[in-house]
Amino acid sequence: MDWKRFDLKGTRRAAVVGIGGGGDALGTIPTRNSLRKDRFEVLIGSALWERFVVDPKPGPRSLDELDNVEEVLSKTVCLAGSQTRIRGGAIPQTCRLSAKLGEKVLLLDLTKGAKGLASGIREMAERLGIGFIVGIDVGGDVLATGKEEGLKSPLCDSLVLAALVNSGVKSIVGVVGLGCDGELKPQELELRLSEIASMGGLLGALGMTQDDVKLMEFLLEGLDTEASKLAIMAAKGVRGNVPIREGTRVAYVSIFSSITFFLDAQILYEASELAKAVANSETIDEANEAMHSLGIETELDFERAVERLGVTSYRDYVLRTKG
């Protein structure tokens, strides 16, 4: 990947953030390492939204719900560290990475919708001198059209994509771990990547090095992220169907799952009805209702159902809803 094109206005600072939730932060590592080899200063981060097995409260968290924040950069973005906690005890997975890397990290607050996050990203970039942002999606659901049968978590990625594009900060999207979340099928992912490429939106690709794999394996200890783990396994030659989510879902893994495909965020946004639908939202509930208007159920709906049913595992949820 040629990063030199992003040497904007004399700055060599970049942010690489997981756009699908806390687990996607691990997927930022290959891009982070590549940028650092090109002598960029890099901050990693993620959306402040954990799966229910990490944080049982449904939906994303706001900055107001955090303790021990390093620095509030805007109403929707903060610098966090190894001691940052969600009030009540849950530890954002990105903060677990902070502890192991010895680096401060960015956390993005989605509760104020795409509009609130967009303005917060703009202010953060201005304060820190960030020249461009890479939004990393592990799995590939940011590519979804909304018609895919296996789509489970379209809200978080779509909202952050809309916010990045409308922030005015130069942004690209990296998709890694193709299929590792068990949502879009390989054919659906390949078709969408080809469609974006035909529009001039494919900027390049990056494979995992052995150093990337070693660091990611070290960071993986203590995390709860299946999709990013499968991306590492793909780089070590694992191929085929792998059960995830306690056996309630199957992900297809191949060597292509170890590659990060970089896409022009603006072009991807224009091709995404989901991202455009949530672009004017001012709360997470508004964004969720925008998805409902397209006939799409979201991960927020799922988490609220989990809380309502009082279940604590994916398997229990399936048993209660299918039984």
Task: State the sign of the Cα–Cα–Cα–Cα dihedral 125, 128, 132, 133.
Answer: negative
The answer to whether position 117 is within a domain reads yes
Q: How confident is the model at residue 8 (pLDDT cuts 50, 70, 90)?
A: low
Distance CA 194, CA 245 (A): 29
Mean predicted lDDT score pLDDT of the chain: 95
What does the alpha-carbon distance between residue 88 and residue 133 come to, in Å, rounded to a whole number?
A: 31
Q: How many domains does the chain have?
A: 1
Give the global pTM: 0.96
Residue 179 main-chain phi, psi, to 5 deg: 80, -5
Residue 2 binned pLDDT confidence (cut-offs 50, 70, 90): confident
Whether residue 27 contacts residue 138, with contact meaning beta carbons closer than 8 Å, is answered with yes
Work out the pLDDT band at 218, boundaries 50, 70, 90: very high
Task: Give CA–CA dist 151/181, Å, rounded.
Answer: 10
The answer to whether the beta carbons of residues 40 and 2 sit under 8 Å apart is no
Residue 288 belongs to a domain: yes
**Over the stretch 149-203, which tens digit does the pLDDT of each residue have?**
999 999 999 999 999 999 999 999 999 999 999 999 999 999 999 999 999 999 9
In angstroms, the CA 30 to CA 36 distance is 10
Assign 323 a pLDDT band (cuts: 50, 70, 90). Answer: low
In a domain, 1, yes or no: no
**Does residue 82 lie within any of the structural domains?**
yes
Average pLDDT over residues 211-221: 97
Q: Is 8 helix (H, G, I), strand (E, B) or coil?
A: coil
Contact 79, 133 (CB under 8 A): no
What is the model's pLDDT at position 222? 86
Q: CA-to-CA distance for 257 and 251, rounded, in angstroms?
A: 11
Q: Are strands 13-18 and 41-47 parallel, antiparallel or unpaired?
A: parallel
Look at residue 106 in the predicted model and tell me its pLDDT: 98
Residue-level pLDDT at 143: 98
In tens, the pLDDT along 39-55 reads 999 999 999 999 999 99
What would the pLDDT profile of 61-111 be if each residue is shown by its tens digit? 999 999 999 999 999 999 999 999 999 889 999 999 999 999 999 999 999
Token look-up 């600072």 returns 13
User: How many Å separate Cα 153 from the centre of its chain?
Assistant: 11
Q: Is the pLDDT of residue 34 over 90?
A: yes
pLDDT at site 89: 83
Question: Within a domain: residue 4?
Answer: no
Mean pLDDT of 288-298: 98
Where does residue 61 fall: left (phi above 0), alpha (psi -120 to 50 degrees), or beta otherwise?
beta
38 lies in some domain: yes
Residue 15 falls within a domain, yes or no?
Answer: yes
194 in a structural domain = yes
Domain boundaries, position 313: 10-322
Average pLDDT over residues 119-135: 97
Q: Are 204 and 35 in contact (CB under 8 A)?
A: no
pLDDT in tens, 232-250: 999 999 999 999 999 999 9
pLDDT of residue 6: 75
Count of CB atoms within 10 A of residue 322's CB?
7
